[in-house]
Amino acid sequence: MQASDSVRRFMFEKLGVRGEIVRLEHSYQAVLERHPYPPVLAELLGQAMAAVTLLGTTIKYQGKLILQMQGSGPANLLVVEYDSKRHIRGLVNWQQGELLEPDMAKLFGAGHMAITVDPQDKASRYQGIVELIEPSLAGCLEHYFKQSEQLATCLWFVARDNRAAGFMLQQMPSTKMAEDDWQRIKFLAETLTDEELLTLDEEDLLHRLFNEDDIRLYESEPVHFHCSCSRERIEQMLNGLGQQEVESIIAEQGNIEVACEYCNKNYHFDCVDATQLFIEGDAGFHSITRH
């Protein structure tokens, strides 16, 4: 049995191709448990979680990778975040009662996909954007790689029965490989079935596809569902709203309730808490000053 909730890198030793296999089970279920999604969106969210894990694992930095799809269709927002501690969270917003088809352009209308590399060192923050012109998430991401990074990349995703999995092949930026080799590897990978991707352990999967190649398989790296929300962040957000706005909400509702959409955690601020926000609000926060 393969480990659930893990990502595993591998490398074709002689070809200059790297790859990854991701399997998500508990982390995917943790996301599905928090919001009931229609099947089409649950599947897309699982695929997006597998995708962000694959992409996030190739990047060497401390910080976050955010995959976001936005549009004006029946679904209007999908966000998945993955950080360098291999913590993942995600959600989808959609219009109740609308027809949901498993096609990116139909789901998000005239939408786009953004990939944000968000390191702790904010100076090197980077965002790449592509239109959702392919029906599948894998197709849209392959299009993104073609446009923005010029790294030949192939992706496969599957999500069903509370499990999500992904498989990636990518040419290394540093090596120039023969086109014949790349086509051969891709051709073999195309024979991978959804069932195999979900269930075969990594050694067996790679042996099944590429038994004639020398492949180095790295240690499995665990992935966890974790939400980065905190009372401190909500306080910063309220500080950003400004004292007048916060006071008017308190005057109207008696207190402030903020629910985290990712994990459903509820943050409660009564009028004393709210006053405190602005007394302590000189540590780099801006608040509205009254004259």
The residues that touch Zn ion, with contacts defined as CB under 5 A, are: 227, 229, 260, 262-263, 265
Task: Closer to Zn ion by CB, 29 or 58: give it.
Answer: 29
Cα–Cα distance for residue pair 90/106, rounded to 1 Å: 21
Question: What's the min distance (Å) between Cβ of 36 and Zn ion?
Answer: 18
Task: Closer to Zn ion by CB, 85 or 186: give it.
Answer: 85
Task: Closer to Zn ion by CB, 174 or 266: give it.
Answer: 266
Cα–Cα distance for residue pair 42/48, rounded to 1 Å: 10
Question: What's the min distance (Å) between Cβ of 264 and Zn ion?
Answer: 7
Task: Closer to Zn ion by CB, 114 or 263: give it.
Answer: 263
Cα–Cα distance for residue pair 279/26, rounded to 1 Å: 42
Task: Closer to Zn ion by CB, 73 or 90: give it.
Answer: 90
Question: What's the min distance (Å) between Cβ of 260 and Zn ion?
Answer: 3
Task: Closer to Zn ion by CB, 87 or 265: give it.
Answer: 265
Q: Which two tokens stand for residue 91?
A: 């959600």
Task: Closer to Zn ion by CB, 105 or 258: give it.
Answer: 258
| Residue among 57, 56, 52, 133 nearest 91 (CA) | 52
Cα–Cα distance for residue pair 38/58, rounded to 1 Å: 31
Cβ contact 17:185 at 8 Å: yes
Question: What's the min distance (Å) between Cβ of 89 and Zn ion?
Answer: 7
**End-to-end distance of the chain based on CA atoms, in angstroms?**
67
Task: Closer to Zn ion by CB, 49 or 154: give it.
Answer: 49
Cα–Cα distance for residue pair 85/258, rounded to 1 Å: 26
Cβ contact 91:53 at 8 Å: no
Question: What's the min distance (Å) between Cβ of 207 and Zn ion?
Answer: 40
Question: What's the min distance (Å) between Cβ of 261 and Zn ion?
Answer: 8
Question: What's the min distance (Å) between Cβ of 116 and Zn ion?
Answer: 19
Question: What's the min distance (Å) between Cβ of 67 and Zn ion?
Answer: 18
Cα–Cα distance for residue pair 179/174, rounded to 1 Å: 15
